[in-house]
Structure formats: C-alpha cells, structure tokens
Amino acid sequence: MRMQDIAFGTTDWNQIERTEHKGEVGMALWRTRVFGDIRVRVVEYSAGYVADHWCEKGHILYCMEGELHTELSDGRSFVLTPGMSYQVADGAESHRSRAPAGAKLFIVD
C-alpha cells in the first residue's frame, strides 16, 4: 500500500452514511471513505452475522467492539476481541468471517 496525494483531514465516522450489505446470515453496515486506491471503513456486523463469500482481498482489520471469528480456507481459525487486529495480503489466504454476538471493526484495504 502506498499512500500519496492525500491531504491531511479528519473524519467524523458518525457523519458518514451507512450502507447495508447482507451476509449469508445477518447484516453488515459499512461507513466508507476512499482515498485514492485506499478504502477505509468502519463496519458493524449484526449478531449472528456470517459472510456470504470467501474473501481474497487484503486488509488490515482492527476489532473495536464485540468478537470476530475468522476462518481461513486451510482450516485455521482465529478470534479477535477488542484491541486485536489481523493483516493479510491480497490473494494470500482466503478468509471468511462471522460475528456470533456482533462486532464493530475498523478496516483498511
């Protein structure tokens, strides 16, 4: 990731419009800003959320609230709680997430 041509700015995430994204089960609410090729999001997963796809995109993901369960295609699984993060490169390891009790995340990709 190379950050360039981004002027200093602040974001009040409460003022960013939410978009709804259905999962296999539950809903994800995204608040998104885009800076050149970089997408930055605050994502809230409803309780019981299960992603409807295996993701190949790279992310840096920080868990702000709740608990995020992430499964990799090789069978490994990880649980993030508030204050934890994960990072994965584009195309590196397919992953799929769920949030049994809901979660709030900060994601850069």
State how far the Cα of 54 lies from the Cα of 65, in Å rounded to an integer: 23
Q: What is the pLDDT of residues 74-94, one digit of tens each?
A: 999 999 999 999 999 998 999
Share the mean pLDDT of the chain. Answer: 95
pLDDT for the residue 4: 84
Confidence bin at 14 (pLDDT 50/70/90): very high
User: Across residues 7-12, what is the average pLDDT?
Assistant: 95
What's the whole-number mean pLDDT along residues 27-35? 97
Q: Radius of gyration of the chain from Cα atoms?
A: 14
Instruction: Say if residues 104 and 37 touch (Cβ distance below 8 Å).
Output: no
How far is residue 38's CA from residue 33's CA, in Å, rounded to a whole number? 8
